[in-house]
Structure 1
Amino acid sequence: MPTRTEVRTARIALLPDDTGRGGRARLELRGGLVTPRVVHQGAASAEVALIATTATLLGGDELRLSVEVGPGLRLDLRDVAGTVAYHGRGRECLVAVSLTVHPGAVLVWAGAPLVVCDGARVVRTLDVDVTDTGRLLLRDRVALGRSGQVGGDLTCRTTMTYAARPALVEELTLGGSPGGGGAGVLGDARVVDSVTALGWRPAPRPALHATDPSTTSQPPLFTLHEPGALARQLVTDAHDSALRHTWQAWSGQLETTANP
């Protein structure tokens, strides 16, 4: 059972003007365990920050977030801080995210890390639906434990579709506790950093810089069956990831690349 008396789904929806007068897009915001705050809004775009409204995540909590971007519009999301799952005292918590991108729309979200502390048990679900000619750029980071911790147990279930066809279906189970999947999957690493592009095929990534110690090897890149790609790196500390270069490159491409 949730620790809160009411489970509310936080919602962010950027939708076309419905007055028939061709005005600016309307932005619908609703808070839950995270609250959206408007950073900037234009005629056909918006930037929104996500802010935690209370200490999260505790055992039994359910953090639910729904994001929708209407046809031809662009929404940029950013997290003010990472999400920390604390010791749940034997109780599981849930993070459930749903993203919907309509035709010709763009959603960009540079997510901050989800940190799973010792004793925490977290299920994170990510359901993404990108319509034909829509585009998504997402950075997703999860970390087992804070500094000096081995971390709790985390199950990540991801389902992404493009034009109603499966683009990425994945279940990843990680755990620092005995019997968890952390050591076999991560080795000495404790952070999984992923950047996903969906709705277009990114151009080859730029060459690494030998003077930057974090870029001694190129992170693996997986081409999706539908238009898109997934870059992923396993690191000990989040700041060691070279995927910031991939993020910057793909962000630039998103500004100029036509839909497939």
Structure 2
Amino acid sequence: MLTTGLLSPRRLPAPDGVVRVALVAAGALLLAGDQVRIEVVARGNVRVEIVELAGTVAYAMRGGSARWDVDVELSDGASLSWHGEPFVVAEGAEVDRSTSIRLGAGSRAALRESLVLGRHGEAGGALRTTTRVALGDEELLVEHLDLSPGRRSGWAILGDSRCLDAVTTLGFRLPEAEQTLQLEGAGSIARRLVAAQHTSDLGEVWAAL
């Protein structure tokens, strides 16, 4: 079942065993007061592929704020592949993002996420992200990241970079490599801090999945 809100999901042609869904903005996104919620539920021997047709820009909010929440539940061997387009936080934007993923036995997920602070020539607004992943009854990943101005410039966060590009695998691991964090459970995070997404080499990592 596909439900339209601020995003309009569209079913795309796909081979047997694959459900491919495109996310299309139903209007201008993101503006002050917007609350986007995306829910993905899949069970059984099915592969869900989420396709973003364009990046998202969070615009200046003049004291307001917006939310972007993702909730995923995969069970009985279902899998998810989600290649996100750049999520751009313009000057003056205030955004909270959360991602919650629950994986049952035999299920797995791969996600590409590119967070960009500011459009060309901008310093960018405030972005706070929370990610929680459970594999069965065990927590696989819990992360809180504050990319607000004044906090993100530390050497251990963004430094002088403008884009945080990441490929995350859950339920399986990426090959051992520099700049790849292997989680205690079955999962990996490969990250790059770059000036612009197109300078990241994570496209090659994604293509090899």
Please state which band the TM-score falls in when normalised by the shorter chain. Answer: over 0.9
> Residue 44 of structure 2 is aligned with which of 71, 84, 99?
71
Distance 1:164 1:114 in 2: 31
Other-structure match for 1:88: 61
| Matched residues, number | 207
CA distance, structure 2, for counterparts of residue 228 and residue 169 of structure 1:
12
- 1:199 paired with 2:158, answer no
Identity of aligned residues (%): 37
1:182-230 Cα shifts (integer Å, max 9, x gaps): 211211101111111111223346xxxxxxxxxxxx5x10011111111
- Given candidates 144, 147, 153, the residue that maps to 1:171 is 144
Q: What's the CA shift for 1:44?
A: 2.3
Higher strand share: 2
Larger Rg: 1
The residue number in structure 1 matching 2:151 is: 181
- What residue number does 2:22 align with? 49
| 1:190 equivalent in structure 2 | 162
Superposition TM-score, scaled by structure 1 size = 0.77
**Structure number with higher relative contact order (C-alpha < 8 Å, ≥ 6 residues apart):** 2
Q: TM-score, normalised on structure 2? A: 0.95
Cα distance, 1:102 vs structure 2: 1.0
Point out the structure with the larger helix share.
1
Give the counterpart letter for 2:9 in structure 1: P
1:70-125 per-residue CA deviation (whole Å, 9 max, x = no partner) reads 11111111100111100111011100111111121110000111110000000000
Q: State the Cα distance separating 1:129 from its structure 2 match.
A: 0.7
Amino acid of the residue matched to residue 190 of structure 1? R
> 8 Å contact 1:129–1:164 — kept in the other structure?
no
Q: Which runs of 5+ in 1 are unaligned?
A: 1-27, 206-217, 252-260
**Would the aligned equivalents of 1:75 and 1:106 in 2 still touch at CA under 8 Å?**
yes
- Provide structure 2 residue ranges, at least 5 long, that are not aligned to the other structure: none
Instruction: Verify the 8 A CA contact 1:87 1:118 in the aligned structure 2.
Output: yes
- Name the SS of the counterpart of 1:30 in structure 2: coil
1:72 & 1:151 partners in 2: Cα distance?
41
Cα displacement (A) at 1:42: 4.0
Counterpart amino acid of 2:71?
A: S
Match of 1:236 among 195, 201, 209: 195
Corresponding residue SS for 2:13: strand
Cα pair 1:69 1:100 within 8 Å, conserved: yes
Amino acid paired to 1:29: L
Q: Of residues 140, 152, 159 in structure 1, which corresponds to 2:132? A: 159
State the Cα RMSD in Å: 1.2
Q: Confirm whether residue 221 of structure 1 aligns to residue 180 of structure 2.
A: yes
Q: What is the one-letter code of the residue matched to 1:104?
A: G
Instruction: Give the residue type in structure 2 aligned to 1:187.
Output: G
Partners of 2:197 and 2:110 in 1: CA distance: 19
| Deviation beyond 6 Å, 4+ runs, structure 1 | none
> 1:157 and 1:201 mapped to 2: Cα distance?
21
Query: What is residue 122 of structure 1 aligned with on the other side?
Result: 95
1:140 aligns with 2:113: yes
